[in-house]
Amino acid sequence: SGENSEAELKVTLAQIAPRLGRLEDNVALHRQILSDAWSGGSDLVIFPELSLTGYLLRDWVPQVAIAAERLTELLDGLSAGRRTPLDVVLGFVELSPGRQCYNSAAYLHLDPGHRPVVVHVHRKVHLPTYGMFDEARYFSPGRALRAFDSPLLGRTGMLLCEDLWHPSSVYVLAADGPGFEGVQSLVGISNSPARGAQDTEHFTVANIETWRRLNALYAQLFGLVVYQVQRVGVEDSYIFSGGSEVVLPGGQPLVRAPLFDEAVVHAELDPAAELRWHRSSGPLGLAGDFDLVRRELSRIAGEAGG
């Protein structure tokens, strides 16, 4: 482990259909998938946004909210007979010490013989409140974009759904590191309802085409491995799309999950080797841009009266 190591990783994308508001049922589903993936040699399992609760919670939000530390209890006791660790990304409603509720993503490290550890939590910054979305009514917005050091993926960023529709989010993470060398891996977890389902020939939908363009752009432009996991299933009149994928730094998809169906998809890759090849063939870096961007944003904010 560590950002300088180069090793083949087995990553599992858990494209599930959580049961709305049924925390105990969803925890059981997570534990089963994690147990199977761990037995199958996976190193990392990624679940979608709000995977522990479902999406259209509305007034149920405070009822299913839990402190991040409680995740270590819910995922404890899975390591019997395992020799290597397992890392997990999942989505949950986070209850803060001040009793605020956040739409959050957690990265956990499960080490055999030890209690799981919460490595990092990201609170969704951009809460969509337009069209079919009403998140700002029920969740508090996150106030930070922070990279962290993953035991498996090196310098890593996590974003939640709408966060990824704001290129500034990825730019900040791409610069968040010593020498402005930021993240090497971007984990995005989403709940994206199907919209524009008109292309029956290629069996795709408009929102998934947008996701694929965004993932490829971020992977290529910033030289990242992008892990993006969607959910499936139906809630109220929302039909969630699926189509989870892993995208390599050149922008090419390594694996893709099917649309609309539950699936557990595995990808095997050597992230450090992929990054080494891509970044050496076209050196990237934000160090030269950073002062210019900061200066111009300060100017714009001053002229706008902000």
pTM to 2 decimal places: 0.94
3-state secondary structure string across 180-217? HCCCCEEEEECCCECCCCCECCCCECHHHHHHHHHHHH
Confirm if 13 and 229 have CB atoms less than 8 A apart: yes
Rounded to 5°, angle at Cα 19 from 63 and 44: 100
CA–CA distances in Å: residue 75 to residues 12, 33, 110, 149: 17, 11, 8, 21
The phi, psi pair for 7, rounded to 5°, reads -155, 150
**Long-range contacts at 172-175 (CB < 8 A, ≥ 24 apart):** 172/145, 173/145, 173/147, 174/222, 174/224, 174/286, 175/286, 175/290
pLDDT tens profile 51-77: 999 999 999 999 999 999 999 999 999
Give me the pLDDT at residue 6, please: 61
Mean pLDDT, the chain, rounded, equals 92
Give me the pLDDT at residue 284, please: 60
Cα–Cα dist 200/222, whole Å:
33
pLDDT tens profile 277-299: 887 776 566 767 888 999 999 99
Residues in the chain, pLDDT under 50 = 1-5, 199-202
Give me the pLDDT at residue 195, please: 63
Give me the pLDDT at residue 173, please: 96
